[in-house]
Amino acid sequence: MTLGSIFESAAIDAALRNTPFAGQMHFFPSIHSTNTHAMAAGEHGAPHGSVFFADEQTAGRGRSSHQWQSPAGCGIYASILLRPTIAPGDALWFSLAAGLAAQDAIAQVTTLKTDLRWPNDLMLGKRKFGGILTEMNAEATRIRYLVIGIGINVLHPAFSPDLAPIATSLLIETGLPWSRQEILIALLQSLHRETSALSDPATSDAGQSSILDRVEAMSTWVRGRRVRVDEGEGFTGVTEGLDARGFLRVRTAQGLRTVFSGGVRDF
């Protein structure tokens, strides 16, 4: 069966046969938001490893109700549902791991060296080409389900004037029509590697430590960068690495602050 004109179901399943995603890829020619759909599917019992992806999103979204422009034929819009048996607090590692997985997938397929803006924005220079929004439904001590939503601008030919200064795509950067299917497969393989390491008690400590090291190595934002953080009233300072939990530390005039969730921008 062919999914749309671009994604081939049998080839994707075959490439993912050693992952929980094989046989669980759900494609939509058009959907409001793959994350909204995946969260609802989680509530209705969708199994671990379900992936919901679309050629077009009509209401793609990011953090703080930001929209994610998701025109048909241009991007990867995928939401991955997991039911990891880890403590809810440890789910934050999945957020960092997803950024590394996406960066690794892009490198494998395109050889592009991309940047990570904490916690997991995918950047080429000063412009963003990929974003990740993770949503979780958890009890106090147990994750019921977790949805990692990933949007990657692959074939967008251009952006509107308001977005052009801050958004880009792989096509704009390289002039080449990269295969969304190849990137999607590489992404899911990488994500499987990362999340497996974090989910297995025997390897989770090493997995966490490896993530801290790799984010430090793969991101120009983590150290020595002058930033503005829109957390609370907002503040500015210079980034000073990650703490043991993966939170970004920023040296401000008033002392060292820990960034939980704020958007981090150049200042």
Binding of residue 95 to other proteins (CB under 8 A): yes
Pick one of 103, 114, 134, 208: the residue that binds other proteins (CB under 8 A): 134
Cβ proximity to other proteins: between 30 and 236 the closer is 236
Q: By CB under 8 A, is residue 139 in contact with other proteins?
A: yes
255 scored as a contact of other proteins (CB under 8 A):
yes
Q: Which of 141, 160, 161, 175 binds other proteins (CB under 8 A)?
A: 141
Residues 6+ apart with CB under 8 A from 108: 186, 190
Residue 235 as a binder of other proteins (CB under 8 A): the answer is: yes
The distance of closest approach from Cβ of residue 152 to other proteins in the complex, given in angstroms and rounded to an integer, is 15
45 touches other proteins (CB under 8 A):
no
* 260 lies in the binding site for other proteins (CB under 8 A): yes
Contacting range for other proteins; rule: CB under 8 A; set: 25-33, 76-84, 130-138, 191-199: 130-138
Establish if 238 lies at the interface with other proteins (CB under 8 A): no
Question: Of the two residues 155 and 222, which places its CB atom closer to other proteins in the complex?
Answer: 222
Say how many residues touch other proteins, by CB under 8 A: 39
Structure tokens at 174: 């390289």
Q: Does 219 bind other proteins (CB under 8 A)?
A: no
- What whole-number distance in Å separates Cα of residue 234 and Cα of residue 171? 34
d(CA 127, CA 150): 17
User: Between residue 73 and residue 92, which ones bind other proteins under the rule CB under 8 A?
Assistant: 88-89, 91-92
The DSSP code sequence of the chain is: -EETTTEEHHHHHHHTTTSTTTT-EEEESSBS-HHHHHHHHHHTTPPTT-EEEES-BSS-B-GGG-B----TTTEEEEEEEE---S-GGGGHHHHHHHHHHHHHHHHHHH----EEETTTEEEETTEEEEEEEEEEEE-SS-EEEEEEEEEEESS-----TTTTTTB--HHHHH-----HHHHHHHHHHHHHHHHHHHHSTTTHHHHHHHHHHHHHHH-SSSEEEEEEE-STT-EEEEEEEE-TTSPEEEEETTEEEEESS--EEE-
Identity of the residue, 202 or 253, whose beta carbon is nearer to other proteins in the bound complex? 253
Q: Does 129 bind other proteins (CB under 8 A)?
A: no
Beta-bridge mates of residue 229: 235, 264
Q: How far, in Å, CA of 102 to CA of 152, rounded?
A: 9
To other proteins, the closest distance from the beta carbon of 92 in angstroms equals: 5
| Residue 135 found at the interface with other proteins (CB under 8 A) | yes
Contact window for other proteins (CB under 8 A) among 1-9, 153-161, 162-170, 257-265: 257-265
CB of 120 to other proteins, least distance (A): 6
Instruction: State the residues that interact with other proteins by CB under 8 A.
Output: 63-65, 88-89, 91-92, 94-96, 119-120, 132-141, 231-233, 235, 245-247, 252-258, 260-262
